[in-house]
Structure 1
Amino acid sequence: MTPAPALSCLLLCIGLLAAGAGQAQIADPDPATAARAAAERLGRAMATLDQAEKARDRVKALTETVRAFENGLQAMREGLRQVTIREQALSRDLAIREAEIAQLLGVLQTMGKAPAPALLLHPAGPTGSARSGMILSDVTPALNARADVLRAKLEEMRMLRQLQTNAAETLRDGLTGVQEARSALSQAVADRDPLPRRFTEDPIRTALLITSTETLEGFASGLAEIAVNESPGSLPDISHRKGSLPLPVQGRVLRRAGEADAAGIRRPGIVVATRPRALVSTPAAATIRYRGPLLDYGNVMILEPQSGLLLVVAGLDVVYGDTGQVLPAGSPIGLMGGADPEIGAILQQTGEGAGTDRSETLYIEVREDNKPVDPETWFRIR
């Protein structure tokens, strides 16, 4: 190859690579930092499990511990998802530029075979040769900069893959920890001191009400009939918290009020998609008006935060508490169904860039003076 064509080919390759270097200067989010932070959150959750076992108020401490594990596991999944997306982007970028890099190396190898003096010659004479030398001196820093970018990307790829390898052990410990915390919480609920009661449930009246009821509205209308020796008064008014109550469970709104489901059925409440075994808690201090199976809603918990206001939570697998008890805000009221996914399934989901396994659903309905209202007027929907 003569000096002029070799130089032209070199400039073509440098132009392509320099364009890629310019794109690489755009700041990408740091998924590695997010993944490490998630691992640290899980580590802190595991450290608090022993402290919760020894806490005086074990139910409250273990509830917070389960929440910490759920938040840590969610953050870990999200961190892994970001790691996977970043690694895939790097792989695609390197694959796209593989031909350009190979072309550049071919040109450099061809030029390296030519005698050094010949490279400085130019068909246009001394002036052309001087210009060629100036161009080569300008090209060298661009080559070095691009090489540095490629080295950084390869090192990032290596680091991200190491993070994915280490994540399996971190997730395994986290899943074991949250399972132990749930078991300890269930035992602590069973062993806790009796909670205040506003009334005693009449089981016969409850059974009659259930058998004679065809709608949730009808059942809610008859709730007062199942209460015996009810104390007068009500819990403090929470109307000032309207629109700011936290959702009872960690999840995402799947269907809003009035939206039809797959069968075309419309309900006045919202449906929240949650992960298996997710903890459900009361968003405010409330009296348990009913707990147990009801109609086609599965296990139902009906809470009364204040007179005339009912929160209906349906679809639980495990329920905590007894009808008539008064629960403090944030108290656990149950667990969702399903089973925790295996490590392999979680890694496969994040490997596909999904990072979500919300297979359970919780139905939440709000009733004011026994009329349904949009739950989004009460709850803080993110």
Structure 2
Amino acid sequence: MRAALALALALLATPAAAQDTATAAREAAARLAAASEQLDAAQAARDRVAALTETVRAYETGLEALRDGLRRAAIRERAIAVELDARREEIAALLGALQAMSRAPAPALLLHPAGPLGTARAGLIAAEVTPALQAEAEKLRLDLQEAADLAALQQSAIVTLEEGLAGAQAARSALSEAISERTDLPRRFTEDPVATALLIASTDTLDAFASGLAQTVDAELSANAPDASDRKGSIPLPVQGQVLRGFGQADAAGVTRPGLVIATAPRSLVTTPVAATLRFRGELLDYGNVAILEPAAGVLVILAGLAEVYGTPGEILPEGAAVGLMGGELPAPHEILTETAQGGGAPRPETLYLEVREGDAPVDPATWFVSG
């Protein structure tokens, strides 16, 4: 009995605070379900572009949250397994003590060879040990149940992932179609395509191209130009991702660029963080597809490395408007489950280059954008 008491107290001395890590995954699944309903509503919305842009964002957020919930569930499941394995001998002793107590007849438990005094002492020890043993047994049961629930959650997530990925793809396709049909945006100017083509052909640097953009305007219109000067330093990044390299930081090859390199998930949506004029869209030098925005007079925001670019030069894009999509291939549901089961987060193999220019010179994007 004294050995059982020492065992119970030792086990209870290091309690593990059980956390319901499955809650995040369940909430993410609810977000994806809401995004699905939002997609249906967006098809009939008065402003389909804005509604579909918000829907794509909702899917991206929901899928990111689901990945994070599954990753945390996998880590928690492994932690429980490691803890139970490390305490195998203690648990075996605990189960042995409980089994011995359950088999002993009640009168025998109340009697002691040393007589009434020994019986009284044994009763006091039993009264102290029994709740401790029961508490530890209940904790063991909860750990085993939590591990089983987490494993079941990961297995059942395949359907949620399939539906979420399919819904996100449908929303992106609908968004591209809606933008191609959009005609209601105000225009600051019309582009001279010949002048733009000549500028591209005659320049071999981004500096030279940005300096010559004024030559591509065919006709000035009456729309007022956006001015985000009052939001300088507080503008969010145009895409969900992680900054890999900051202003002037060298890459692995020792090359430095005066902009941010942002790692993103495949097919991530890129939006205008503030209202801005679309000054240019298309392929440029070795930057791939490029969108150049003007959020304030004399300020250019260059976004390079997109797979698709939306809009027509001269349009004034409202805050949160879709600018384009990143490239890459979306992972299959089983690949996502494998990544999360290994404790990894969502991969971000695509990179968006963001540069800010004031006048004819690049400036640190941190003076305009919040990157943390």
Q: Give the shorter-chain TM-score range.
A: over 0.9
Root-mean-square deviation (Å): 2.2
Please state if 1:314 is matched with 2:314.
Answer: no
Paired residues for 1:129-278 under 5 Å = 129-193=119-183, 195-231=185-221, 235-278=225-268
Amino acid at match of 1:255: R
Q: Is the 8 A contact 1:111 1:119 kept in 2?
A: no
8 Å contact kept, 2:263–2:352? yes
Which blocks of at least 5 consecutive residues in structure 1 are unaligned?
1-6
Q: Is the 8 A contact 1:9 1:107 kept in 2?
A: no
CA deviation string 1:258-305 (max 9, x = no partner): 211121111111111111111111112211111111122111111111
* Contact map agreement 1:268 1:372 (CA 8 A) in 2: yes
Q: 2-side partners of 1:235 and 1:367: how far apart? A: 17
Runs of 5+ in structure 2 lacking a partner?
Answer: none
Distance 1:114 1:180 in 2: 66
Name the aligned partner's letter for residue 214 of structure 2: A
Shift of 1:118: 8.8
Q: 1:52 to 1:109 in 2, by over 3 A?
A: closer
TM-score (norm 2): 0.93
Structure 1 residues 61, 117: CA separation in 2 closer, same or farther (over 3 Å shift)? closer
Structure 1 position 11, deviation (Å): 3.0
**Deviation, structure 1 residue 319:** 0.6
Structure 2 residue corresponding to 1:372, chosen from 326, 351, 362? 362
Report the equivalent of 2:6: 12
The SS at the match of 2:282 is: strand
For the Cα contact (< 8 Å) 1:234–1:306, is it kept in 2?
no
8 Å CA contact 2:68, 2:345 repeated in 1? yes
Alpha-carbon separation, structure 1, partners of 2:134 and 2:180:
67
1:89 aligns with 2:83: no
* CA pair 159-117 structure 1, distance change in 2 beyond 3 A: closer
8 Å CA contact retained: 2:236, 2:273: yes
Q: Which moved more, 1:43-52 or 1:7-16?
A: 7-16
| Pairwise CA distance, 1:98 | 1.7
| Matched-pair contact (CA < 8 Å) for 2:187–2:223 | no
Aligned partners of 1:38 and 1:233: how far apart in 2?
Answer: 42
Q: Which amino acid aligns with 2:171?
A: A
Change (3 A) 1:156 1:191: same
Aligned residue for 1:322, secondary structure, equals: coil
Aligned-pair CA distance for 1:70: 0.7
Q: What residue is the counterpart of 2:93 in the other structure?
A: 103
| 3-state SS of paired residue (2:343) | coil
Map of 1:325 onto structure 2? 315
Shift of 1:158: 2.1
Aligned residue type for 2:10:
L
Shift of 1:199: 2.4
Q: Secondary structure at the match of 1:229?
A: strand
Deviation at 1:138, TM superposition (A): 0.7
1:61-114 residue CA offsets vs partner (Å, 9 max, x unmatched): 111111111111111111111211111111122222221111233455567788
TM-score scaled by structure 1?
0.90
Q: Given the alignment, which residue of 26, 45, 50 partners 1:36? A: 26
Q: Is the 8 A contact 2:303 2:352 kept in 1?
A: yes
TM superposition shift of 1:212? 2.6
Task: Give distance in 1, aligned partners of 2:255 and 2:97.
Answer: 67
